[in-house]
Amino acid sequence: MSADAFADSAPIALEGGRKVRKNLTRSRIQFAIAGLTLLFLIIAGRLVMLGMAEAADGYSGAVGGGANLVRAAIVDRNGEELAVDISVPSMFAEPRNIIDVDEAVEKLHAEMPELSRSFLRSRLDGDEGFVWLARELTPAQQNRLFNLGIPGIDFVTENKRFYPGGTTAAHILGAVNIDNQGIAGIERFLDRGGNMMSSAEDPSDPVSLSIDLRVQHAMHAELVSSMERYQAIAAGGVLLDVHTGEVIAMASLPDFDPNEPATALEEGRYNRVTAGTFELGSVFKTVTFAGALDSGLVSLTDSFDARYGVRFGRFTIDDFHGEHRILTVPEVFRYSSNIGTIRLMQTWGKDNFRSFLTRIGFDAPLPIELPETKRSTIAETFSEVGAATASFGQGLSITPLHMASAVAAFVNGGDLLPATMFPRSAEEAAELAVPVISEDTSARIRYLLRLNALEGSGTRMNAAAEGYRAGGKTGTAEKVIDGRYSTTKNFNTFVSVFPLDAPRYALVLFVDEPQAENERTGRTAGWNAGEASGRLIARVAPMLGVAPNFSEALDLALVPPELRRAEPEAVQAPVPVVRN
């Protein structure tokens, strides 16, 4: 080939080489992109597997599973925190990435002896992509475990529920399980679709309850003190706003620590206020009096023959400390006469009495938002003797909250309101109110409650809460043991309202199986549940804006017109109508 011909062909050869190198470079770039894409797909697939993997014990994956449920904070009516979420580390393993199972087991067991070797081996000796090892660790534990440097062991941050008040409001708040899911109390209510869900779109918005943490703390402290003071086996109480039905405080002892949910499983640690039904004894006479007076068949000017016990066949019902004379209606209440109460109920009629119990909600389940509730135990129809014993609180069982709601209606003008754990406005309450007695009857019940505080079984309560115009009624109920009423074990209750010149709050407080505080005291309700109620009222009334007032004019103003005389100090009826 000539030199000229070679010169003419050289550019063609060079051009072809460039084209080959350019194609080769493009192919390499495409292979690199494909490789990187495949790598990212593998990583993404791995993340999906971790997210979907289930631990052998049934827990969901570490990221995005139930363990990371975010709950709204729960606060009291003043914005004080009752329950909050905090972040805690939890340890998991990827068994397929464990290099030496025996070494991992020994190191982990040495650091956390509570994790047995058999447990660790069963978790690590497998091919799973994810298993839990330990939940809700402390940061210090996490640091020590991390420093072990075991391949295939890692940590994830979870949400843990924390209750700053510990046991103070345990039965109200309830508890959550290890996955932050509500299992009791308000926590469970929220997760079951309550009207203020904890899984709200903005978890930063707290859920507000109606309770006042200051009052709740005072009630809890008083109940703890009462159990110790009277050597009781249990105690409890509930304070309601009589105009809205809001629960301001509620406690039941023994209780538990919601920060340690397992403590709720110990014997006797249930909410006796909503999930316990009891024969409440003579506090139930308030119900009988309210219904009888409202019927118009009985008036405060009537009197009843209480000289002799009431016979039913071979049984006779008598008074505990009987006056054994003719008693006016106010005296029947003041002396807590069983005989007089039976006579009063009989004048009203046993069927009317039974219908009234339905009217005031005793047959219905509690409307409260707490899941732990119980229905009353009341016969559908009353026999003569059944009605007689029921009139003074024996032979039927209701929850203390049922009683508190009824008493609130008896003093607020006659409107029954469903109790609630959430804030409720006056307008909302008005829409829910169900009239059960008249305003006139309500005024007469207020008078009787105050009379009992001044001259009857509530005097010890009144002395402790002097100035706050409280009134109330005692109930000393003999407990049924092995089918018989015990003479040594009582369930003692005190219902009270304050201030009675303008009622705002109703309180039911009970002490189970109290003992005499000393040789000069007794076991009846006035000595324990009554005194405890007075101490609590004196403590919380200032918190609730109720100022003391010692004017006798306030008490005189409570006396109904039919009982007034020219002399202001006289509060008894004129010539009574005696009923046998």
DSSP string, 492-536: EEEEEEE-TTS--EEEEEEEES---SSTTS-SSGGGTHHHHHHHH
Amino acid symbol at 432: L
Beta-ladder partners of 577 = 302
- Boundaries of domain holding 487: 216-579
Beta-ladder partners of 498 = 505
What is the 8-class DSSP label of residue 398?
A: B
Q: What CA–CA distance (Å, rounded) separates 174 from 179? A: 15
Beta-ladder partners of 224 = none
Q: What CA–CA distance (Å, rounded) separates 234 from 256? A: 13
> How does 394-409 read in b/e, with b if 16+ C-beta sit within 10 Å?
bbbbbbbbbbbbbbbb
Q: Is residue 396 part of a domain?
A: yes
Q: Is residue 408 part of a domain?
A: yes
Q: Is residue 224 part of a domain?
A: yes
- How many domains does the chain contain in total? 1
Q: Is residue 22 part of a domain?
A: no
The DSSP result for 310-340, as a single string, is EEETTEEE--TT---SEEEHHHHHHTT-HHH
Q: Is residue 133 part of a domain?
A: no
Q: Is residue 196 part of a domain?
A: no
CATH code at position 346: 3.40.710.10
Q: Which pLDDT score, from 0 to 100, does residue 45 have?
A: 64
Q: Which pLDDT score, from 0 to 100, does residue 403 have?
A: 98
- Predicted confidence pLDDT, tens digits, the chain (580 residues): 444 544 455 555 545 555 556 666 677 777 778 777 777 777 766 655 555 443 333 333 333 334 457 899 999 999 999 999 988 889 999 998 888 888 888 889 999 999 999 999 888 988 888 999 988 888 898 899 888 888 988 888 888 899 999 999 999 999 999 888 999 999 999 998 764 443 445 556 899 999 999 999 999 999 999 999 999 999 999 999 999 999 999 999 999 999 999 999 999 999 999 999 999 999 999 999 999 999 999 999 999 999 999 999 888 999 988 889 999 999 999 999 999 999 999 999 999 999 999 999 999 999 999 999 999 999 999 999 999 999 999 999 999 999 999 999 999 999 999 999 999 999 999 999 999 999 999 999 999 999 999 999 999 999 999 999 999 999 999 999 988 899 899 999 999 999 999 999 999 999 999 999 998 999 999 999 999 999 999 999 999 999 999 999 999 999 999 998 644 444 444 444 555 5
Q: Is residue 427 part of a domain?
A: yes
Tokens read off for 573: 């009826």
Q: What CA–CA distance (Å, rounded) separates 485 from 337? A: 19
Q: Is residue 157 part of a domain?
A: no
Q: Which pLDDT score, from 0 to 100, does residue 579 have?
A: 56
